[in-house]
């Protein structure tokens, strides 16, 4: 139950109402956004119809389309058997994914949602079998969730076995609200420790800090910050980035999921999603559902990666401190 506790601690805009004719659009992303708008406006039947009659142009689109259809059937319509069919189709479609499309994470996702649907249907043993299969992908968000749902033994050693893939360089930061494992998880997700990288949008260094964020921190703290050092000096970058993420943690009561969403998309966006979908810190909405309702594909993936990578770093640290799994 070690990972369950860790995960629990971490956990995690359409202007016009579209018409059903949108299903004929060649763009799956337009169809997806339109369907989620229907769901949000209280018409999950139309949302499901949009998705069900569309056909993805690629394996990745079919994986996502079947997920959305299954999610709507299960969580919005209560049609469990229909959801099972879509999640099975999702699992089958993962066979056509390229390695760059993260098939392991998506297979774990399909297995988790199959297990969750079976659990809702009262089929506990079948659900546990699916969760156990999904938990084979222990270093993914849904693999970790599945492991905890299956009640598997402590998986610290399983995660620590891949420790060479999780660098632990010595870093400097001064904000006590941030622990090293969380800082490392952010850096691995943001830049994979490529200190000199600058994104096409202008995000800089290990923690991929935007120039506007540097200016905002300077205004709030009254401390002049040098964007050139943010871009060129690792410790300077990490100090600034960890301070900003810590501010997000404070704003969201220590919730890593919400802080990660805000770090990636901005606190304005995160606050908007809380207003629209409910606050996952309480009982208004399940935190996994909240993540899947994030409208931005990049942010959905980012939040999952932050949580999974953070849990992995925590497990690796636990092994290092105890000297054994």
What residues are labeled active site?
190
Q: Is 231 helix (H, G, I), strand (E, B) or coil?
A: helix
Locate 271 and state its tokens.
């606050």
Cα distances (Å, whole numbers) of residue 294 to 112, 113, 268, 275, 297? 19, 17, 13, 12, 7
**Residue 137 Rama label (left phi>0; alpha psi -120 to 50; beta):** beta
CA geometry: angle 83, 271, 197, nearest 5 deg:
90
Q: Is 209 helix (H, G, I), strand (E, B) or coil?
A: strand
Alpha carbons 90 and 274: distance in angstroms, whole number: 28
On whether the CB atoms of residues 115 and 149 are closer than 8 A, the answer is: yes
Q: Is 270 helix (H, G, I), strand (E, B) or coil?
A: helix
**DSSP annotation of 210:** -
Alpha carbons 123 and 94: distance in angstroms, whole number: 24
On whether the CB atoms of residues 107 and 73 are closer than 8 A, the answer is: no
On whether the CB atoms of residues 156 and 3 are closer than 8 A, the answer is: yes
Cα distances (Å, whole numbers) of residue 248 to 169, 244, 266? 24, 7, 9
Of 238, 208, 239, 210, nearest to 223 by C-alpha is 239
């Amino acid at each position: 139950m070690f990972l369950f506790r860790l995960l629990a601690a971490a956990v995690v805009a359409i202007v016009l109402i579209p018409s059903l004719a949108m299903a004929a659009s060649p763009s799956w992303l337009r169809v997806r956004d339109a369907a989620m708008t229907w769901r949000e406006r209280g018409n999950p039947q139309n949302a499901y119809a949009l998705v069900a009659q569309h056909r993805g142009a690629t394996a990745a689109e079919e994986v996502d389309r079947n997920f959305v259809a299954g999610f709507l059937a299960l969580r919005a319509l209560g049609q469990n058997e229909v959801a099972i069919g879509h999640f099975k189709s999702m699992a089958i479609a993962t066979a056509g994914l390229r390695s760059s499309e993260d098939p392991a994470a998506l297979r774990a996702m399909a297995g988790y949602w199959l297990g969750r649907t079976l659990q809702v249907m009262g089929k506990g043993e079948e659900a546990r079998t699916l969760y156990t299969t999904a938990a084979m992908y222990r270093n993914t968000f849904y693999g970790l969730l599945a492991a905890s749902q299956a009640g598997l033994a402590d998986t610290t050693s399983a995660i620590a076995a891949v420790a060479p893939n999780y660098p632990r360089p010595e870093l400097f930061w001064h904000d006590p609200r941030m622990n090293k494992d969380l800082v490392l998880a952010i850096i691995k997700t943001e830049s994979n420790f490529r200190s000199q990288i600058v994104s096409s949008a202008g995000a800089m260094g290990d923690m991929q800090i935007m120039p506007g964020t540097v200016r905002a921190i300077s205004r709030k703290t009254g401390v002049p910050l040098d964007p050139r050092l943010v871009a060129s000096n690792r410790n300077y970058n990490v100090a600034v980035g960890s301070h900003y993420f810590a501010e997000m943690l404070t704003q969201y009561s220590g919730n890593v999921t919400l802080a990660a969403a805000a770090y990636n998309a901005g606190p304005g966006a995160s606050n908007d999603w809380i207003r629209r979908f409910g606050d996952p810190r309480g009982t208004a909405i399940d935190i996994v559902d909240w993540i899947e309702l994030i409208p931005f594909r990049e942010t959905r993936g980012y939040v999952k990666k932050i949580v999974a990578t953070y849990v992995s770093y925590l497990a690796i640290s636990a092994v290092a401190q105890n000297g054994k799994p």
